[in-house]
Structure 1
Amino acid sequence: MSQATTPTRSARHAAPLVLALGIGLLSGCSGDEGAADAAPSSSAPSSSAATSSAEASTPASSAPATSAPAEAESETVAVTEGEMFIELSEDSLGAGTYTFEVTNTGNMPHDFVVEQDGDDVVGTDVLQPGESTTLEVDLAPGDYVFYCSVGAHRAAGMEMTVTVA
């Protein structure tokens, strides 16, 4: 009988450990939000924590002045890839910085490559079905080809020509 109670006792001791471990992992995922997560013990410290977070982000964002404006000017375009197609959420693109949110909705691996004048400008890693990633690129005026470089996908029609004005 002591063997039957020992696993139950172990399970009772393991449950809080598993719960604490899960909370620790979730807290670790919050990353930069640690200051805000540590402060909400009452509403007054929470508002001062928000103020100090805003004050902390202001000097940090003014230090790398080149990256803050680039993010503000970046336009996000959704890219959907599937079996032998690429679709963009925008019909026309002007010169500027773009963040392409690429999602593979198909059943085969795909990637997303930006080409100009026959040279690859930038591309993603190969995305498995259901995977997504982002890709940031500065587009100057000109003609581009967006395509999938996996296997013979491009030859099968997985490309599109885009003119950036």
Structure 2
Amino acid sequence: MPLMTGSGRRAATLVLAVGLGLTACGGDDGGTETPTATDSTSSSAADTGSSAPASPGSSAPAETEAVTVTAVDFDFELSEDSYSAGTYTFEVTNTGTMPHDFIVERDGADVAGTQVLEPGASETIEVTLEEGDYSFYCGVGQHRANGMETAVTVTA
């Protein structure tokens, strides 16, 4: 094996340092996220695995209810039309021809949401809904103003 000269060692050290620096700086594919009530589960966020108590005085965790959300152009198709307070997993798929997201809003504040989903993309978020009024809407461009919003009342 040939010995490296001083300049060869410096070049090898520089290549190694740049590679390590890029590795340390990279790795986050998620971009910016909309704040969520609980962590979302997707390729860009981790699952906390937490759940709410089943009922007062009970130590068993409540079931998380799955809701399928299909984003089509200027509309959401939801597998549920009534909601009781509890934890829900929203499985959002964009079947439209343009980008969409899915935002959960309460009292004018966003409490959970997906990333912007390109056509064909999916993301799952977990949200704990408390009793009250919510809006599920698309925050992309003028989609909400064009009717891509659903009002929901969560009961006790």
RMSD: 1.7
Unaligned runs of 5+ in 2: 1-48, 54-60
Q: Note the 1:123-134 alignment, pairs <5 A.
A: 123-134=113-124
1:91 Cα deviation after fit: 1.4
Give 1:142's aligned residue. 132
Query: For the residues of structure 1 that align with 2:68 and 2:90, how far apart are their CA atoms?
Result: 6
Mind listing any 5+ residue stretches in structure 1 that lack a counterpart? Answer: 1-65
Alignment counterpart, residue 154 of structure 1, candidates 135, 144, 147: 144
Give secondary structure in 2 for the equivalent of 1:73: coil
Pairing 1:1-165 to 2, within 5 Å after superposition: 67=50, 73-165=63-155
Identify if the C-alpha distance between structure 1 residues 141 and 68 changes in structure 2 by more than 3 Å, giving closer, same or farther.
Answer: closer
Higher relative contact order (CA 8 A, sep 6+): 2
Larger Rg: 1
Aligned length: 100
Which aligned segments of 4 or more residues in structure 1 are displaced greater than 4 angstroms?
A: 68-72
3-state DSSP class of the match of 1:109? Answer: coil
TM normalised by structure 2 equals 0.61
Q: What secondary structure sits across from 2:80 in the alignment?
A: coil
How far apart in 1 are the matches of 2:102 and 2:76? 9
User: Structure 2 counterpart of 1:124, which letter?
Assistant: T
Please tell me whether the aligned partners of residues 73 and 96 of structure 2 are also in contact (alpha carbons under 8 angstroms): yes
Distance 1:126 1:164 in 2: 25
Higher helix share: 1
TM-score normalised by length of structure 1: 0.58
